[in-house]
Amino acid sequence: MSEMLGRIVTGKVTDENDQNYFVQVDGATFLLNKTEIQKPLKLGSQFKGFAYENETHHMQLTRNAPKVQVDHYAFGTVVRTQHNLGVFVNIGLPNKDIVVSVDDLPTIAEIWPQTGDQLMIAIRVDSKHRMWGVLADEEIFQAIAQPGNKHMMNRDVEVIPYRLKMAGTRVISKGYQLGFVHPSEREREPRLGEPLKARVIGIHQDGSLNLSLKPRAYQAIDDDSAMLYAALQHSQTGSLPFTDKSNPDEIKAYFGLSKGAFKRAVGHLLKDRQIVQKDGQISLVEAAVNDQEHPED
């Protein structure tokens, strides 16, 4: 029995009632709900479906196989927690959620996944024919990873934490780029599986990302930085002919800021890697990257 559950199997339709067909697979009988079947099945015909034990402990087949299977990893959504057991994950079955055991979850309950969080799991079937969720490990994430590129610098990305350590948080983005959040770049430790928005602050040669969960400096610190950033965004080239060495009167006339306030705003944006300062001008990071790729003849 254990070798059938959590997998696609093929069996023979042997009987039916008003609600179900009964399908024999290697001597075991599985229910098949008739609501899944558009064209009636003939007794003796073959049927292929995903085998599982439903919430009432009956063996069942479904033609709508979930992506999460034995040795097949995919994301599922946490639907509830039970602290003496683990977390229940919806993988798309109509009458069965998969439990990720407390033994596989963080020792600190505050960073357990909560309802709505996302976990990448596969199915494991134990000797008592119980189906459990197995968290993907680093090897699995490395196998599915896609490299980031320099155009992602400073961009916001949606990520899911999959490994929580004192040294930092490992995450995967919606585009399957792997990333790392140093403790200094977060205001609290995220939950396992918690959907987050992060900012790309570095890109390694292998395409993995360094990320920050902190607000952008111009958002968190002052309005002057936000105004300067907006001015750069609205400029045609993403650059303006000013630096922290510019004439105070020219700064005042253009921005309405004192030179001291302007320098602080520039400093905040430089520290936050929002802008670069070069050749007598300040530029958005994206604009500077484009200039390097498409230099003037």
- Can you give the pLDDT at residue 213? 94
- Can you give the pLDDT at residue 272? 80
Token reading at 124? 């494991």
What b/e string do you get for 6-25 counting C-beta neighbours within 10 Å, with b at 16 or more?
A: bbebebebeebeeebbbbeb
| Domain extent listing, the chain | 8-62, 74-136, 145-212, 217-293
Say how far apart CA 134 and CA 118 lie, in whole Å: 13
Select 8-62's CATH number: 1.20.1300.10, 2.40.50.330, 3.40.50.2300, 3.40.50.880.
2.40.50.330
Say how far apart CA 163 and CA 17 lie, in whole Å: 47
- CATH architecture group of domain 217-293: Orthogonal Bundle (1.10)
127: left (phi over 0), alpha (psi -120 to 50) or beta: alpha
Model-wide pTM > 0.75: no
Angle between helices 259-271 and 223-234 (to 10 degrees): 80
Select 74-136's CATH number: 3.30.420.40, 3.40.50.720, 3.30.1240.10, 2.40.50.140.
2.40.50.140
Q: What are 216-219's contacts with CB under 8 Å, separation 24+? A: 216/272, 216/274, 217/268, 217/269, 217/271, 217/272, 217/274, 218/265, 218/268, 218/269, 218/272, 218/274
- Can you give the pLDDT at residue 273? 84
Same fold, 74-136 and 217-293: no
- In 3D space, the residue among 111, 87, 113 whose CA is nearest the CA of residue 98 turns out to be 87
> Which ranges constitute the DSSP H helices of 3-144?
138-144
Cβ-based neighbours of 21, under 8 Å, separated by 6 or more:
13, 15, 31, 32, 34, 37, 41, 47
For 145-212, give the CATH class.
Answer: mainly beta
- In 3D space, the residue among 116, 17, 119, 97 whose CA is nearest the CA of residue 52 turns out to be 97
- Can you give the pLDDT at residue 271? 84
pLDDT in tens, the chain (297 residues): 678 999 999 999 999 999 999 999 999 999 999 999 999 999 999 999 999 999 999 999 999 999 999 999 999 999 999 989 999 999 999 999 999 999 999 999 999 999 999 999 999 999 999 999 999 999 999 999 999 998 999 899 999 999 998 899 999 999 999 999 999 999 899 999 999 999 999 999 999 999 999 877 555 556 788 888 888 988 889 999 998 889 999 999 998 889 998 998 898 888 888 899 988 999 998 755 555 555 554
Point out which residues pair with 123 in neighbouring strands.
70, 133
Reading across the β-sheet that carries 275-278, which strands appear in turn?
Answer: 239-240, 281-284, 275-278
- Can you give the pLDDT at residue 58? 95
Quick check: helix, strand or coil at residue 64? coil
Strands 46-53 and 20-25: unpaired
CA torsion 46-52-55-59 (nearest 10°) is: 50
